[in-house]
Structure 1
Protein backbone atom coordinates (compact mmCIF):
# COMPACT_ATOMS: atom_id res chain seq x y z
CA UNK A 1 0.00 0.00 0.00
CA UNK A 2 1.30 3.33 -0.84
CA UNK A 3 0.72 6.55 1.04
CA UNK A 4 -1.78 7.79 -1.51
CA UNK A 5 -4.24 4.95 -0.93
CA UNK A 6 -5.13 5.83 2.69
CA UNK A 7 -8.59 7.15 3.06
CA UNK A 8 -8.94 10.76 4.13
CA UNK A 9 -9.72 11.25 7.81
CA UNK A 10 -13.40 11.79 8.44
CA UNK A 11 -14.46 15.38 8.74
CA UNK A 12 -15.91 16.23 12.13
CA UNK A 13 -19.64 16.82 12.15
CA UNK A 14 -20.65 20.44 11.94
CA UNK A 15 -21.68 21.86 15.24
CA UNK A 16 -25.30 22.82 15.39
CA UNK A 17 -25.53 26.18 17.10
CA UNK A 18 -27.75 26.35 20.14
CA UNK A 19 -30.63 28.75 20.10
CA UNK A 20 -29.11 32.01 21.21
CA UNK A 21 -30.59 33.96 24.07
CA UNK A 22 -32.50 36.94 22.80
CA UNK A 23 -30.46 40.13 22.95
CA UNK A 24 -31.49 43.09 25.09
CA UNK A 25 -33.22 44.70 22.14
CA UNK A 26 -35.42 41.62 21.65
CA UNK A 27 -36.71 41.63 25.25
CA UNK A 28 -39.71 43.94 25.64
CA UNK A 29 -39.22 46.89 28.02
CA UNK A 30 -42.01 45.79 30.35
CA UNK A 31 -40.17 42.52 30.93
CA UNK A 32 -36.86 44.25 31.60
CA UNK A 33 -38.60 46.44 34.19
CA UNK A 34 -40.38 43.58 35.97
CA UNK A 35 -37.67 42.94 38.60
CA UNK A 36 -36.97 46.62 39.44
CA UNK A 37 -40.74 47.20 39.66
CA UNK A 38 -41.17 44.19 41.94
CA UNK A 39 -38.38 45.37 44.24
CA UNK A 40 -39.90 48.85 44.35
CA UNK A 41 -43.32 47.39 45.17
CA UNK A 42 -41.84 45.36 48.04
CA UNK A 43 -39.93 48.30 49.49
CA UNK A 44 -42.92 50.63 49.08
CA UNK A 45 -45.13 48.07 50.83
CA UNK A 46 -42.69 47.80 53.72
CA UNK A 47 -42.48 51.58 54.07
CA UNK A 48 -46.29 51.85 53.87
CA UNK A 49 -46.64 49.32 56.68
CA UNK A 50 -44.05 51.04 58.87
CA UNK A 51 -45.67 54.39 58.08
CA UNK A 52 -49.08 53.09 59.14
CA UNK A 53 -47.99 51.11 62.23
CA UNK A 54 -46.10 53.39 64.63
CA UNK A 55 -42.96 51.73 66.07
CA UNK A 56 -43.28 53.86 69.21
CA UNK A 57 -46.47 52.01 70.18
CA UNK A 58 -45.55 48.86 72.12
CA UNK A 59 -46.50 45.44 70.85
CA UNK A 60 -46.15 45.99 67.12
CA UNK A 61 -42.45 45.26 66.60
CA UNK A 62 -39.94 43.21 68.58
CA UNK A 63 -37.27 44.96 70.64
CA UNK A 64 -33.70 44.79 69.34
CA UNK A 65 -32.14 41.68 70.94
CA UNK A 66 -28.78 43.41 71.50
CA UNK A 67 -30.48 46.33 73.24
CA UNK A 68 -32.67 44.02 75.32
CA UNK A 69 -29.73 41.91 76.51
CA UNK A 70 -26.97 44.52 76.87
CA UNK A 71 -28.64 47.93 76.80
CA UNK A 72 -26.37 48.92 73.89
CA UNK A 73 -27.65 50.39 70.65
CA UNK A 74 -26.69 48.52 67.48
CA UNK A 75 -26.32 50.36 64.14
CA UNK A 76 -29.88 49.38 63.24
CA UNK A 77 -31.55 50.55 66.45
CA UNK A 78 -34.04 53.26 65.65
CA UNK A 79 -34.30 52.21 62.01
CA UNK A 80 -38.04 51.55 62.18
CA UNK A 81 -38.68 54.85 63.98
CA UNK A 82 -36.49 56.54 61.38
CA UNK A 83 -38.48 54.96 58.54
CA UNK A 84 -41.76 55.98 60.19
CA UNK A 85 -40.61 59.59 60.51
CA UNK A 86 -39.20 59.53 56.95
CA UNK A 87 -42.55 58.33 55.54
CA UNK A 88 -44.31 61.14 57.37
CA UNK A 89 -41.86 63.73 56.00
CA UNK A 90 -40.14 64.49 59.32
CA UNK A 91 -36.54 64.37 58.09
CA UNK A 92 -34.99 65.80 61.27
CA UNK A 93 -36.60 63.14 63.46
CA UNK A 94 -35.62 60.45 60.95
CA UNK A 95 -32.00 61.65 61.06
CA UNK A 96 -32.06 61.74 64.86
CA UNK A 97 -33.46 58.21 65.14
CA UNK A 98 -30.93 56.65 62.75
CA UNK A 99 -28.87 58.80 60.37
CA UNK A 100 -27.22 55.88 58.51
CA UNK A 101 -30.68 54.45 57.81
CA UNK A 102 -31.73 57.73 56.15
CA UNK A 103 -28.55 57.61 54.07
CA UNK A 104 -29.48 54.04 53.11
CA UNK A 105 -33.02 55.10 52.09
CA UNK A 106 -31.61 57.83 49.86
CA UNK A 107 -28.94 55.46 48.53
CA UNK A 108 -31.66 52.96 47.64
CA UNK A 109 -33.55 55.61 45.68
CA UNK A 110 -30.41 56.51 43.74
CA UNK A 111 -29.42 52.89 43.13
CA UNK A 112 -32.95 51.90 42.08
CA UNK A 113 -33.13 54.82 39.64
CA UNK A 114 -29.83 53.86 38.03
CA UNK A 115 -30.95 50.22 37.90
CA UNK A 116 -34.23 51.16 36.20
CA UNK A 117 -32.58 53.40 33.61
CA UNK A 118 -30.04 50.68 32.80
CA UNK A 119 -32.83 48.09 32.56
CA UNK A 120 -34.74 50.26 30.08
CA UNK A 121 -31.59 50.50 27.99
CA UNK A 122 -31.06 46.74 28.20
CA UNK A 123 -27.89 46.94 30.29
CA UNK A 124 -27.26 45.07 33.54
CA UNK A 125 -26.64 46.84 36.81
CA UNK A 126 -23.07 46.36 37.99
CA UNK A 127 -21.89 47.30 41.45
CA UNK A 128 -18.14 47.23 41.69
CA UNK A 129 -17.54 47.82 45.38
CA UNK A 130 -14.02 46.84 46.25
CA UNK A 131 -12.67 45.88 49.63
CA UNK A 132 -11.72 49.48 50.43
CA UNK A 133 -15.30 50.70 49.97
CA UNK A 134 -16.78 47.82 51.95
CA UNK A 135 -14.28 48.29 54.80
CA UNK A 136 -15.02 52.02 54.72
CA UNK A 137 -18.76 51.43 55.11
CA UNK A 138 -18.11 48.96 57.91
CA UNK A 139 -15.77 51.40 59.66
CA UNK A 140 -18.38 54.20 59.47
CA UNK A 141 -21.04 51.92 60.96
CA UNK A 142 -18.63 50.81 63.69
CA UNK A 143 -17.75 54.42 64.60
CA UNK A 144 -21.45 55.34 64.57
CA UNK A 145 -22.24 52.41 66.89
CA UNK A 146 -19.43 53.21 69.32
CA UNK A 147 -20.18 56.95 69.46
CA UNK A 148 -23.92 56.47 69.97
CA UNK A 149 -23.20 54.25 73.00
CA UNK A 150 -20.74 56.66 74.65
CA UNK A 151 -21.97 59.26 77.17
CA UNK A 152 -21.34 62.20 74.81
CA UNK A 153 -23.17 60.41 71.96
CA UNK A 154 -26.57 60.60 73.60
CA UNK A 155 -27.80 62.81 70.79
CA UNK A 156 -27.53 59.75 68.51
CA UNK A 157 -29.84 57.61 70.67
CA UNK A 158 -33.11 56.69 68.98
Structure 2
Protein backbone atom coordinates (compact mmCIF):
# COMPACT_ATOMS: atom_id res chain seq x y z
CA UNK A 1 0.00 0.00 0.00
CA UNK A 2 1.28 3.42 -0.80
CA UNK A 3 0.73 6.63 1.12
CA UNK A 4 -1.75 8.03 -1.42
CA UNK A 5 -4.05 5.01 -0.99
CA UNK A 6 -3.82 5.15 2.80
CA UNK A 7 -4.52 8.89 2.86
CA UNK A 8 -7.53 8.50 0.60
CA UNK A 9 -8.93 5.72 2.77
CA UNK A 10 -8.61 7.95 5.85
CA UNK A 11 -10.41 10.79 4.07
CA UNK A 12 -13.18 8.41 2.98
CA UNK A 13 -13.55 7.22 6.58
CA UNK A 14 -13.94 10.77 7.82
CA UNK A 15 -16.49 11.55 5.10
CA UNK A 16 -18.38 8.37 5.96
CA UNK A 17 -18.55 9.40 9.62
CA UNK A 18 -20.01 12.84 8.88
CA UNK A 19 -23.61 11.62 8.67
CA UNK A 20 -23.68 9.59 11.93
CA UNK A 21 -21.75 12.31 13.75
CA UNK A 22 -24.20 14.89 12.38
CA UNK A 23 -27.09 12.83 13.76
CA UNK A 24 -25.31 12.64 17.13
CA UNK A 25 -24.74 16.42 17.12
CA UNK A 26 -28.38 17.07 16.24
CA UNK A 27 -29.57 14.70 18.96
CA UNK A 28 -27.26 16.36 21.47
CA UNK A 29 -28.58 19.79 20.47
CA UNK A 30 -32.17 18.62 20.97
CA UNK A 31 -31.33 17.17 24.40
CA UNK A 32 -29.55 20.40 25.36
CA UNK A 33 -32.46 22.59 24.20
CA UNK A 34 -35.15 20.49 25.88
CA UNK A 35 -32.97 20.17 28.97
CA UNK A 36 -32.62 23.96 29.16
CA UNK A 37 -36.18 24.96 28.18
CA UNK A 38 -38.55 23.15 30.54
CA UNK A 39 -41.54 21.61 28.70
CA UNK A 40 -43.40 21.44 32.03
CA UNK A 41 -43.87 25.22 31.90
CA UNK A 42 -46.72 26.23 29.59
CA UNK A 43 -46.01 28.29 26.51
CA UNK A 44 -42.59 26.90 25.62
CA UNK A 45 -43.69 24.16 23.22
CA UNK A 46 -46.87 23.61 21.20
CA UNK A 47 -49.54 21.23 22.44
CA UNK A 48 -49.74 17.79 20.83
CA UNK A 49 -52.23 18.19 17.96
CA UNK A 50 -53.70 14.71 18.54
CA UNK A 51 -54.23 15.43 22.25
CA UNK A 52 -55.68 18.86 21.45
CA UNK A 53 -58.15 17.46 18.88
CA UNK A 54 -59.20 14.25 20.63
CA UNK A 55 -58.27 14.55 24.30
CA UNK A 56 -56.39 11.25 23.95
CA UNK A 57 -52.66 10.62 24.29
CA UNK A 58 -50.62 9.70 21.22
CA UNK A 59 -47.53 7.44 21.49
CA UNK A 60 -45.33 10.55 21.58
CA UNK A 61 -47.17 12.41 24.33
CA UNK A 62 -44.79 13.00 27.22
CA UNK A 63 -41.66 12.63 25.08
CA UNK A 64 -40.44 16.21 25.57
CA UNK A 65 -40.90 16.00 29.33
CA UNK A 66 -39.23 12.58 29.29
CA UNK A 67 -36.24 13.98 27.40
CA UNK A 68 -36.11 16.86 29.89
CA UNK A 69 -36.05 14.37 32.77
CA UNK A 70 -33.27 12.35 31.08
CA UNK A 71 -31.28 15.54 30.46
CA UNK A 72 -31.52 16.15 34.22
CA UNK A 73 -30.48 12.54 34.95
CA UNK A 74 -33.87 11.44 36.25
CA UNK A 75 -34.62 8.15 34.46
CA UNK A 76 -37.45 7.21 36.85
CA UNK A 77 -39.39 10.35 35.97
CA UNK A 78 -38.61 9.79 32.28
CA UNK A 79 -40.05 6.27 32.47
CA UNK A 80 -43.19 7.63 34.08
CA UNK A 81 -43.69 10.16 31.30
CA UNK A 82 -43.12 8.00 28.22
CA UNK A 83 -41.83 4.47 28.88
CA UNK A 84 -41.89 3.54 25.18
CA UNK A 85 -39.50 6.35 24.28
CA UNK A 86 -37.12 5.42 27.10
CA UNK A 87 -37.28 1.75 26.08
CA UNK A 88 -36.37 2.69 22.49
CA UNK A 89 -33.13 4.45 23.48
CA UNK A 90 -30.97 1.29 23.72
CA UNK A 91 -32.18 0.12 20.30
CA UNK A 92 -31.53 3.52 18.74
CA UNK A 93 -28.05 3.60 20.28
CA UNK A 94 -27.37 0.11 18.93
CA UNK A 95 -28.42 1.06 15.38
CA UNK A 96 -26.46 4.31 15.56
CA UNK A 97 -23.38 2.46 16.83
CA UNK A 98 -23.67 -0.08 14.03
CA UNK A 99 -23.89 2.79 11.56
CA UNK A 100 -20.72 4.37 13.01
CA UNK A 101 -18.81 1.08 12.83
CA UNK A 102 -19.88 0.45 9.24
CA UNK A 103 -18.94 4.01 8.27
CA UNK A 104 -15.55 3.70 9.97
CA UNK A 105 -14.85 0.41 8.21
CA UNK A 106 -15.79 1.98 4.88
CA UNK A 107 -18.58 -0.53 4.34
CA UNK A 108 -21.56 0.64 2.30
CA UNK A 109 -24.68 1.82 4.07
CA UNK A 110 -27.45 -0.68 4.29
CA UNK A 111 -30.61 0.32 2.49
CA UNK A 112 -32.86 -1.30 5.09
CA UNK A 113 -33.02 -0.46 8.75
CA UNK A 114 -34.21 -3.87 9.86
CA UNK A 115 -36.02 -6.93 8.61
CA UNK A 116 -39.65 -6.05 7.73
CA UNK A 117 -40.95 -8.42 10.41
CA UNK A 118 -39.14 -6.37 13.09
CA UNK A 119 -40.58 -3.14 11.70
CA UNK A 120 -44.11 -4.58 11.67
CA UNK A 121 -43.63 -5.83 15.23
CA UNK A 122 -42.48 -2.36 16.30
CA UNK A 123 -45.50 -0.79 14.61
CA UNK A 124 -47.77 -3.24 16.44
CA UNK A 125 -46.13 -2.36 19.78
CA UNK A 126 -46.64 1.35 19.10
CA UNK A 127 -50.32 0.86 18.20
CA UNK A 128 -50.99 -1.33 21.27
CA UNK A 129 -49.15 1.20 23.47
CA UNK A 130 -51.22 4.02 21.93
CA UNK A 131 -54.50 2.24 22.66
CA UNK A 132 -53.64 0.90 26.12
CA UNK A 133 -52.34 4.22 27.48
CA UNK A 134 -55.80 5.71 26.79
CA UNK A 135 -57.77 2.95 28.55
CA UNK A 136 -58.58 3.04 32.27
CA UNK A 137 -56.36 0.06 33.13
CA UNK A 138 -53.45 1.61 31.19
CA UNK A 139 -53.54 4.94 33.02
CA UNK A 140 -50.06 4.20 34.41
CA UNK A 141 -48.74 4.69 30.84
CA UNK A 142 -50.24 8.18 30.53
CA UNK A 143 -47.82 11.09 30.92
TM interval, shorter chain, is 0.7 to 0.9
The corresponding residue for 1:26 is: 9
Counterparts of 1:130 and 1:108 in 2: how far apart (Å)?
15
Q: Which has the higher contact order (CA 8 A, sep 6+)?
A: 2
SS at match of 1:149: coil
Counterparts of 2:71 and 2:90 in 1: how far apart (Å)?
12
SS at match of 2:117: helix
Q: Which ranges in structure 1 are unaligned for 5 or more consecutive residues?
A: 1-21
For 1:1-158, what aligned pairs fall within 5 Å after superposition?
Answer: 26=9, 28=11, 29-126=13-110, 127-158=112-143
Q: Which runs of 4+ in 1 moved over 6 A?
A: none
Q: Over alpha carbons, which structure has the higher Rg? A: 1
What is the total number of aligned residue pairs between the two structures?
A: 135
Counterparts of 1:33 and 1:62 in 2: how far apart (Å)?
34
How far off its partner does 1:143 sit?
Answer: 0.8
More helix by share: 2
How far off its partner does 1:81 sit?
Answer: 0.7
For residues 78-121 of structure 1, give each alpha carbon's deviation from its aligned partner in whole angstroms, at most 9, with x where no partner exists: 01011111111111111111111112332222211111111111
SS at match of 1:33: helix
